[in-house]
Structure 1
C-alpha cells in the first residue's frame, strides 16, 4: 500500500488512474475480507484517496470514485472508528463536487443528492456516538460536531427547503432530510440553543409529517432544561402544526393529536408558573373546540363539515375546563378578581363546548357557572 502511495504521488496520469482503479478492485475487497474492521488497511486506503488527483479524471470517473467511497462508508458505518469514516465521506463529497460547479437540486442523481447521502451518514453516526457517550465533555463535543455538520450542509444550499419547492422533492430525499432536521433539533437542545430549536421546528412547516412531529415532541419533552424553554418549544411545534400547509400531514390524525399537544403544553405552562402562556393555550383550545377544522386559526386541515373530520375529544375539553376553573379559584384566593373572572369565563366557554363535541347536555357549563356565582357572591 505504501508503494501505491508513492506511485500515486509521482506517476503520470494513466498510471494514477490505474492505481485508483486497483485500490477499489483489490484493496477494498481485502478490507471486506476482514469484515471492514482492519483500521490499518482503511487508513492506508484513505491516505491514497487524499492525494490530490489534479483534475485528471473525467466526470464519469469522478462519479465512480465518489460512489465507491460512499459504498465503502456505508459498509463501515457501524464498525469503523468515527474519524476515518468522516474522512472517507468527506473524500466522497470532494470527488463528487468536482463533477459540477453548480449542482441542480431537482435532479435525484446529481451531486446534491450525493452530498445529502454522505452528510446523512456523517450526521447519523456522529449522533449515535453522542448518545452512547457517557463522558459529558465528550458527549458535548460530538453533539457540537453534529450541529456543525448539519449547519455547514444547510449553508452550502444543499437543503431542499433552501433550493427548491418542497412539494417537488422526492420522498426518499425528504425522508432523510426530515431525519437530519430531527437530529439538528436534538443537538440544539443538548447544546441548550433553544432559539435555534424553535427556528428548526418552524422551518419544517412545508414538509412536516406525523412522524416528525412526534419525534420533535419526544425530543423536547426529554430535555433536561428549564420548563419555560420546553414550554415555548412545544408551543412553537403546536403553532407550526396548526398553520402548516404540508401535504404530508394526515390531517385527521393531526386533529386527534393537537388536543394531546395542547394538554401537554397547558400542564407545562402551569408547572412553569407561566400564566400568560397557559391562558394563550386556553385561547387556542377554544378556537379548536368552536372550529373543529381549525380554519379560524389558520389550520389547513379538512373541511369540518366532512364526515372524516375529527372533533375535539370531549374528555380533553372537560379536563381543560376543569383545570382552568380550578386555576380561576386560585386567583380568587389571592384576591386577583379580574384574573379569576377571565379564567373562569374561558373555562365556562370550554365547558359549553362539551355539548358540541361529546354531549353532556351542558351540565359542566352550568356547574361551573353556579360555582362562579358562589365565588362572586362570597
Structure 2
C-alpha cells in the first residue's frame, strides 16, 4: 500500500524558507542604515561586524543545499546591489585606509630582499592588491592619469599573482571601462575594457574563480557595445571578430547570440541582413531556456526584426510560439499570441499574413480571457476599417480570424458582436447562403438575439424569402417593446425589397406590437396609413388565397385604426396623433372600400371594415361643424344599414346555432344605433322629403331584420315594440316580412296572436285595397290559434267577420275577399260549432254556427253556402230540441 505524503512537512519547509528570507532581508536593510553611523564607533562597528559574519555563515549554509531559490531572487539582488553601492561609495574611508597602508608598503619594500621565496610570493600578492586598490581609488576620485600611471605596474604583476588576485585587477579594469561607457567617454571606455579583455584572456579560465566566466562575458558585452557606438568601420569589424572568436569557444550562448543581433542591428538599414538576424533568433529559440528575462529579450528582438522585415518577423514568432507550446508556458503563450495578432494587423499583405496566423493559431488551446479580448480588440479595428472602406471580403476574413477557437474564452458578448459583423459583411456582398450558414453556426442565445434576428431579416428580404422573413420578424416582435426600433428598421428595410408582401408583414407586425396609448417615436397614423395603401395595391392579385389574405389584412388594419383612435394617443408635445385630417382619411377610405366591395368581398369582411368605419366616426370631436356632423351621421347610418344587411345574410346561412345567434345579437345593436340616428336626422328637419323617405324605407327594412333577430333570439316582448316602431315608416313590405317571419317561427300562441294581429291591422291600414292578403294572414293566424285557445279564436273570428264585411261593402257588391278563403273560414268555424254541439255546449255551438253563417253571407256563390248552413243549423237545433 503506498505511503501517504506528509503535506504538513512540505508546508513547514516552505514556511521556514520564507521566514529565513525575511530575516536576511531585514538584517540587510538594518545593516545599510547602520553602516554610515556605526563605522566611526569601534564597539558598535565590531558588534555589527560579528553579526554580519554570522549572517554570511548562515547564507553559505543555505546556498550549499541542493535546492534553494536564492540564485534568481529579485529581492536578494536588489538588497545586495544596494549594499555593494554603499560600500563602493565610501571613498573617504578607502583613502584613509590606503594612506595608512602606504607606511606599511614602504617598510615591506625594504625587507623584500631578505625574505624567503614563499614569503616573497606573499609580498607580490599584497603588492598587487595594493596596486589595484590605488587604481580603483584613483578612478573613484576621477584621477584617471594616476590610474594610467599605475596600469603598467598592475599589468606586470598580473602574471605573477594568484588567479583570485588577477581577477580583482581585471574586475577593476572592467569597472572603470564600464563607467566610462555609461558616461559616454567611448575612447577611454574602449581602452580600459580592452585592457580587461586582454588581461582575462591572458590567463587560463579554469585557473580563475568560478565567476570569471561571467566577468569575461560582461567585459565582452561592454567592449562590443563601445565598439559599435564608435560607429567606425574598424570598430565594427573588430566587434564582429570579438564575437566570432567567443562564439567559436562557447557556441550558442545567449550573450553571444545577443551580441550578434546587436551587431546586425547596428548595420545601416539599406544593408541590414534580415535573414542572418532571423537565423540567430532561430538559434536562440532552439536553445531557449524558460525564464522571464530570456522570454522578454527574445520577444523584443523578434519585434525588432518584424520592424525591418514583417514577413520574417511573423515566421520567427510562429516558430517561437511552437517552442512555447512545448514548454507549456500559458502566460507567455498568451502574450505571444497577442503579439502575433498585432503583427498580423499591421502588415500590408493581409490575406497571406492571416493565412499564416490561422495556421499558427490552429495548434493552440484557447488562451486566457484577457488575452483573447486584447487580440480581438486589435482585430476589430481592422474589421471596422475594412468595413467602413467597403472592403467587405477582407472584413469578413478578419472576422473569421477573430472567431478562431483560440479566442473562445473572450465571452459570448464579444463573439456575438463579431458574428453579427460577419453577417453584415455577407449582407453587403449579397451572399445569402453565407449569411444563413453563419446564422446556423451561432449559439442558440446568439440566434435569438433581436439584433441577429434583424440582420437575418434583412437577408431574407433581399432574397425574397417571405416565410423566413416572417419568422425573424416574429422573433423581433416578441422582444418588443424594448426593441421597437428594430421593428421600425424592419419596416424601412422591407420597403427596399421587391416583394410588397414582406413590407406589409413588417408594417402589420409594428402595428400589432405598438402600444396605442404610448406609441413612442413612431407616427402611428402614418404607419397604419402606409400599411393600408400597400395592401390596397395588392387587391389586383389573381391568386384567390392571397387576395383573401390581403382583404383580411386591410380589414384588420382598419380595426387597428379604430382601436387606436379610441385611445386618443398623443405625441411628445401633447397633440393628438389622430387629428381630424387623419380621421377623415381613414373614415373615407374605410367607407369607400366597404361600399365598393360589398358585393364581391366576404360578408364578414364587409361587416369588419364598416364596423371600423363606424368606430372611426365616433372618434371625431364633438365640436365639428353642423354640415360635417350631418355627413358623418349619414355615413354612420349607411354603414349600420350595410352591416345589418350583411349580418342577417350571415345568420340565415349559418349552420352553427350559437354563431347564428351571435350574428343576430350584433345586428340588433347596429339596428338600434341606426334607428336612433335616423330618428335624430328626421327630427332635425334638415332633410328633404326624398331623403327622409329613403331613410324611413331603410329603417323599415332594418326593423324587419330586427324583428327576425328578435324571433330567433326569442325576445317575444320586443316584437310588439318593433311593430310599433315600424308603423312610423309606413312600409307595407316591412310588415309583410314580419308576418311571414312570425308565421314560420314557433312563437307562443298569445304572443303570436298579439303580434300578428297588430301586423295585420297595420297592413290593413296601409293597403285596404288588398283584402286577399289580409284573408291569407287571418287564415294562417286562425289555423295556429284555434286548436289551442278558444277565446283567441273567438276574437279572431269576430275580427275576420268585421274585415270581410268591410271588404264586401255596404252595397253587398261581390266580396273583395277571395271566396275560397271565406269558404275555408266558414267551414272551419261551422265544423267547430258541430264539435261543440256534440259536446252539448249549446250556447257556444250556436255562436260559432251563427258566426259562420254570417261570414258565409259574403261568399260570392249566390247565397248557396249561407243557405245550406242555415238549413243544417236549423236541423241541428230541431234535433237538439227533440231530445
1:223 and 2:745 matched: yes
- Look up the match of 1:246: none
170-179 or 100-109: bigger deviation: 100-109
137-146 or 106-115: bigger deviation: 106-115
Shift of 1:224: 3.4
Shift of 1:185: 1.0
- Look up the match of 2:806: 291
1:352 and 2:853 matched: no
Classify the secondary structure of the residue corresponding to 1:188.
helix
What are the equivalent positions in structure 2 for 1:1-378 lying under 5 Å apart?
1-2=507-508, 5=511, 9-10=519-520, 22=530, 25-31=533-539, 33=541, 34-38=546-550, 39-40=552-553, 42-52=555-565, 62-74=583-595, 75=597, 79=601, 82=604, 86-99=607-620, 101=622, 110-154=631-675, 157-160=676-679, 163-164=682-683, 168=689, 170-243=692-765, 249-252=766-769, 254-271=770-787, 273-292=788-807, 311-354=816-859, 358=860, 360-378=861-879
- Look up the match of 2:387: none
Change (3 A) 1:330 1:167: farther
Q: Max radius of gyration: which structure?
A: 2
- Look up the match of 1:301: none
Classify the secondary structure of the residue corresponding to 1:361.
coil
Residues 170-215 of structure 1: CA distance to partner in whole angstroms, max 9, x if unpaired? 3442333222111111111111111212221232113243422332
- Look up the match of 2:77: none
Residues 128-159 of structure 1: CA distance to partner in whole angstroms, max 9, x if unpaired? 332233233333333233233333544xx224
Change (3 A) 1:71 1:41: closer
Q: In structure 1, what is the Cα distance between the partners aligned to 2:872 and 2:827? A: 12
Q: In structure 2, what is the Cα distance between the partners aligned to 1:321 and 1:87? A: 53
Q: In structure 2, what is the Cα distance between the partners aligned to 1:103 and 1:362? A: 71
Q: In structure 1, what is the Cα distance between the partners aligned to 2:663 and 2:594? A: 19
Q: In structure 1, what is the Cα distance between the partners aligned to 2:794 and 2:875? A: 23
- Look up the match of 1:299: none
Q: In structure 2, what is the Cα distance between the partners aligned to 1:68 and 1:293? A: 58
Contact 2:829 2:849 in 1 (8 A): yes
Q: In structure 1, what is the Cα distance between the partners aligned to 2:508 and 2:704? A: 42
Change (3 A) 1:376 1:292: same
Shift of 1:31: 4.4
Contact 1:123 1:146 in 2 (8 A): yes
Tell me the TM-score normalised to structure 2 length. Answer: 0.36
Contact 1:105 1:160 in 2 (8 A): no
143-152 or 103-112: bigger deviation: 103-112
Change (3 A) 1:318 1:97: same
Change (3 A) 1:108 1:102: closer
Contact 2:760 2:774 in 1 (8 A): yes
Q: In structure 2, what is the Cα distance between the partners aligned to 1:260 and 1:320? A: 10
Larger relative helix fraction: 2
Residues 22-54 of structure 1: CA distance to partner in whole angstroms, max 9, x if unpaired? 455443233454535423454245324532356
Residues 309-368 of structure 1: CA distance to partner in whole angstroms, max 9, x if unpaired? 9822233222222221111111111111111111111111111222xxx2x332222221
105-114 or 86-95: bigger deviation: 105-114
Classify the secondary structure of the residue corresponding to 2:677.
coil
Residues 263-298 of structure 1: CA distance to partner in whole angstroms, max 9, x if unpaired? 111122223x2122222222222222222289xxxx
Q: In structure 2, what is the Cα distance between the partners aligned to 1:102 and 1:363? A: 74
Q: In structure 1, what is the Cα distance between the partners aligned to 2:856 and 2:654? A: 49
Contact 1:62 1:99 in 2 (8 A): yes
Shift of 1:117: 1.5
Classify the secondary structure of the residue corresponding to 1:292.
helix
Change (3 A) 1:73 1:278: same
Change (3 A) 1:40 1:60: closer
- Look up the match of 2:139: none
Q: In structure 2, what is the Cα distance between the partners aligned to 1:263 and 1:240? A: 17
Residues 99-140 of structure 1: CA distance to partner in whole angstroms, max 9, x if unpaired? 574999999962332122111232223333322332333333
Contact 1:103 1:110 in 2 (8 A): no
Classify the secondary structure of the residue corresponding to 2:537.
helix
Contact 1:37 1:80 in 2 (8 A): no
RMSD: 3.9
Tell me the TM-score normalised to structure 1 length. Answer: 0.77
Q: Which has the higher contact order (CA 8 A, sep 6+)?
A: 1
Q: In structure 1, what is the Cα distance between the partners aligned to 2:634 and 2:529? A: 24
Change (3 A) 1:27 1:284: same
Q: In structure 1, what is the Cα distance between the partners aligned to 2:562 and 2:592? A: 14
Contact 2:640 2:673 in 1 (8 A): no
Q: In structure 1, what is the Cα distance between the partners aligned to 2:534 and 2:777? A: 55
Classify the secondary structure of the residue corresponding to 1:312.
coil
Classify the secondary structure of the residue corresponding to 2:727.
coil
Unaligned runs of 5+ in 1: 244-248, 295-303
Q: In structure 1, what is the Cα distance between the partners aligned to 2:791 and 2:601? A: 51
